[in-house]
Structure 1
Amino acid sequence: MKKSIHHLYVHILLIMVCGFFLIPILYTLSVSLKSSNTLISSNFKLIPDNPTFDNYKDILFEKPFLLWLKNSLLLTIGTVIATMVVALPAAYAYTRLKFKGKSGSLFLLLLLNAFPAILSMVAIYRLFKTFSLMNNYVGLIIVYTGTMVIFSIWNLKGYFETIPADIEQAAMVDGANNFTIILKIILPLARPTIIVTGMVIFITSWNEYIYAVNFLSDVNKYTLAAGLYSIQGTNYTRNWPVFAAGSMLTSLPTLLIFFGIQRYLVSGLTVGGVKY
């Protein structure tokens, strides 16, 4: 009986915490349905008076939102692929191979990951100018990949260490080479952490704002983050309801991905995380 009451209190507390964190989302939804260009009012209502979907029509048909969506998908998917191509073999090598400087290089990567990426902005700008990477998705994919690859290596490595090496040794006895072992054994067994790592890379790249705004100046190459920023360009042209509508639409792909892979979240993050 006491255990049941304890669980009830815990669930009530968790519901309250979830409700608290939903407040900004509900507020944004409310602003996106407003017919007037106001962000804050004294008589706030979750469902505003005279709600309208005109703001969603404006962002979809009056602004190049669909073009920005395509650009974001191209940039984000490219980043996920590039990061996983680098991180998967690196994580496997750190897990199974023995080589000089293994531990030192791992902790060096962790140390590099502790520094804010914004500190390298000037250096990256000079490199982009030198190699003509301004307004180029290749440059951003390289930056995003460098930002996310350290997390990806550590998370994948932690999960790979939970896979018994005996499975690989048995496959070698049967004549399998390293490529076959990775492709047919390791990757299927590590599917939860691969999916979750890919999701984290996707969400981080999808929401990235600083580099996209500074290194993309062509409106036709804007991502969603840069495009929404351009809507709020000056104090005289800001339209908060349209901006809120764009924000709600921008969040939909990540929500769909999250709900689609939620069954992998616990095993994909916790199993890899505890091996740090």
Structure 2
Amino acid sequence: MTMHQRRRTRRALAHLLLHLLFLAICFATLVPILYAVSVSLNADNSLLSSNFRFIPEQFTLRNYQAVFTQEPVMLWLVNTLILALATVAICLAVSVPAAYVFSRMRFKGRRPVLRLLVLLYSFPSVLSMFAIYRLLSPLGFVNTHLGLILIYTGTMAEFGLLNMKGYFDTIPVEIEEAASIDGASRAQIVLRVVLPLAQPSILVTAVQVLIYVWNEYLFATTFMTGAEHYTLAAGLYSLQATEISGSWPVFAAASLVVSLPILVVFFAIQRHMTSGLTAGGVKG
């Protein structure tokens, strides 16, 4: 065997081992999902008992039927959709123009403001919970969807600004200058040139905000009371509030059902995820 053949053999073996490693990692990440599927198809609420099996002895779809008939999961889904769509719309309406301004304009205090935004975004949101409650309570926004929308928008608008500002930085200024020479106004340049080029970053930002609102639990349970106001995260927790009264199969079935919309959205824009995330960073 020649030296070249040995190198090719070593390279092929290295690639094989790397693929096997990735397959093992993927399987490990899928184990909790497969476990939830198994529990949701189990006819018995025996998760905590000694006779529980990964492959149920008796399969049933009764748990999925209970999600739609016995529990207000659809009401929680509607509440979450209202919060998510409103938050995504407001976040994009605020962060897209702000990101463009911070990317293209050079004004006094620009760098300190960016650094302050990064500093504020690095703090855990739980630290501001008491202050937010004191601000919203006199306005009557506690236990309302509008209050949660304001909280979510204030939290994720910073992320949208910082992420899309980095993407706008990667768009060559010469493209805008060429459009300006051709007679395009600033509004036309932004709407017809910049925004179409920044579509991957805008889509990724929208999905990240959507996922945050979909999974957010802390503020939803703190500022909302009553099952009719619950979001999906808060409602799912209420299904399994206690290990004695809760039904693990119904909880698992509900968790899988409410995860499907996010999976559909994620796979729909998967091709934009890499460019939209890797290009989004804070630059001077």
Partner SS for 2:170: coil
Residue type at the aligned position of 1:75: L
Q: Distance in 1 between matches of 2:48 and 2:278?
A: 40
Partner SS for 2:279: helix
1:141 corresponds in structure 2 to: 149
| 1:182 lines up with 2:178 in the alignment | no
1:259 corresponds in structure 2 to: 267
TM-score (norm 2): 0.92
Q: Is the 8 A contact 2:162 2:282 kept in 1?
A: no
Instruction: Compute the displacement of 1:272 (Å).
Output: 1.8
2:5 corresponds in structure 1 to: none
| 1:233 lines up with 2:241 in the alignment | yes
2:232 corresponds in structure 1 to: 224
Q: Is the 8 A contact 1:159 1:275 kept in 2?
A: no
Partner SS for 1:133: coil
Aligned partner (choices 102, 111, 120) of residue 94 of structure 1: 102
1:59 corresponds in structure 2 to: 67
Residues 117 and 59 of structure 1, relative CA distance in 2, 3 Å threshold: same
Q: Distance in 2 between matches of 1:15 and 1:40?
A: 30
Q: Distance in 2 between matches of 1:138 and 1:175?
A: 42
Aligned partner (choices 225, 250, 257) of residue 258 of structure 2: 250
Instruction: Compute the displacement of 1:275 (Å).
Output: 5.0
Residues 274 and 267 of structure 1, relative CA distance in 2, 3 Å threshold: farther
Q: Is the 8 A contact 1:33 1:48 kept in 2?
A: yes
Structure 2 unaligned segments of length 5 or more: list them: 1-7
Aligned partner (choices 9, 12, 22) of residue 14 of structure 1: 22
Instruction: Compute the displacement of 1:219 (Å).
Output: 1.9
Matches within 5 A, 1:40-189: 40-42=48-50, 44-189=52-197
Instruction: Compute the displacement of 1:247 (Å).
Output: 0.7
Q: Which is higher, the Rg of structure 1 or of structure 2?
A: 2
Matches within 5 A, 1:200-219: 200-219=208-227
Q: Distance in 2 between matches of 1:121 and 1:225?
A: 18
Q: Distance in 2 between matches of 1:185 and 1:84?
A: 17
Between stretches 34-43 and 139-148, larger displacement belongs to: 34-43
Q: Is the 8 A contact 2:87 2:153 kept in 1?
A: yes
Partner SS for 1:233: coil
Structure 1 unaligned segments of length 5 or more: list them: none
Q: Distance in 2 between matches of 1:29 and 1:47?
A: 10
Q: Distance in 2 between matches of 1:89 and 1:146?
A: 16
Q: Distance in 2 between matches of 1:44 and 1:274?
A: 50
Aligned partner (choices 271, 276, 280) of residue 272 of structure 1: 280
Instruction: Compute the displacement of 1:244 (Å).
Output: 0.9
Q: Distance in 2 between matches of 1:272 and 1:261?
A: 16
Q: Distance in 1 between matches of 2:64 and 2:269?
A: 28
Instruction: Compute the displacement of 1:42 (Å).
Output: 4.3
Instruction: Compute the displacement of 1:220 (Å).
Output: 1.7
Instruction: Compute the displacement of 1:44 (Å).
Output: 4.9
TM-score (norm 1): 0.95
Q: Is the 8 A contact 2:239 2:247 kept in 1?
A: yes
Residue type at the aligned position of 1:201: V
Between stretches 92-101 and 215-224, larger displacement belongs to: 215-224
CA offsets 1:140-181 (integer angstroms, 9 cap, x no match):
111111111222111101111111111111222222222211
Q: Distance in 1 between matches of 2:54 and 2:203?
A: 36
What is the percentage of aligned positions where both structures have the same residue?
A: 49
Residue type at the aligned position of 2:204: V
Aligned residue pairs total: 276
Q: Distance in 1 between matches of 2:242 and 2:22?
A: 40
Residues 152 and 17 of structure 1, relative CA distance in 2, 3 Å threshold: same
